[in-house]
Amino acid sequence: MANEYTSGQPEYWEPIGGEFFRFEAEGDTLQGQLIDRRFITVAAPGGGESTIGQYTILTGDGEIFFNGSFDLDAKMARIPDRAYVRVTRQGIDKTKRGFSVIRFLVETRRGEVSA
């Protein structure tokens, strides 16, 4: 009997989750409805571990998720669940200690939160 799992994805297999989006350049924008937020532990730039947000937005193209940062997490904390949100990478600032911090503009549509 042939192994049906080795020849790609059979018709009855459907991918779950969404696509990962990375804000790579100034002006990169993602918008849609915030449908999930969770926190994950990652390696910190200076060593050790750090906790960051991971967000899922429902767009016209499906579910897209992206990781937060210090700046982005602080701004996303003010966005209610199910709200429509637009996130734009603005630029990079340097801290007094010489670390690079990516700045984001986070916007939400007034009065457009779905149940």
pLDDT at position 3, please? 43
Enumerate long-range contacts of 65-68, CB under 8 Å, 24 or more apart. Answer: 65/17, 65/18, 65/19, 65/20, 65/21, 65/36, 66/20, 66/21, 66/22, 66/23, 66/30, 67/40, 67/42
The model's confidence at residue 2, banded by pLDDT at 50, 70 and 90, is: very low
Q: Considering just the CA atoms, what is the radius of gyration of the chain in Å?
A: 18
pLDDT tens profile 58-80: 999 899 999 999 899 999 999 99
**Which CATH class for the 25-113 domain?**
mainly beta
pLDDT recorded at residue 99:
82
Count Cβ atoms below 10 Å from residue 78 Cβ, excluding itself. Answer: 9
User: Do residues 51 and 98 make contact, with C-beta atoms less than 8 angstroms apart?
Assistant: no
Rounded CA gap, 56 and 36, in Å?
5
Instruction: With cut-offs at 50, 70 and 90, classify the pLDDT of residue 111.
Output: low
Percent of the chain with pLDDT over 90: 61
pLDDT in the model for residue 14: 63
**pLDDT tens for each residue of 4-19:** 455 555 566 666 667 8
Per residue in 16-57, pLDDT (tens digit) is 667 899 999 999 999 999 999 999 998 887 788 989 999 999
**What is the C-alpha to C-alpha distance for residues 73 and 68, in angstroms, rounded to an integer?**
5
For residue 115, is pLDDT > 50?
Answer: no
What residues form DSSP beta bridges with 32? Answer: 85
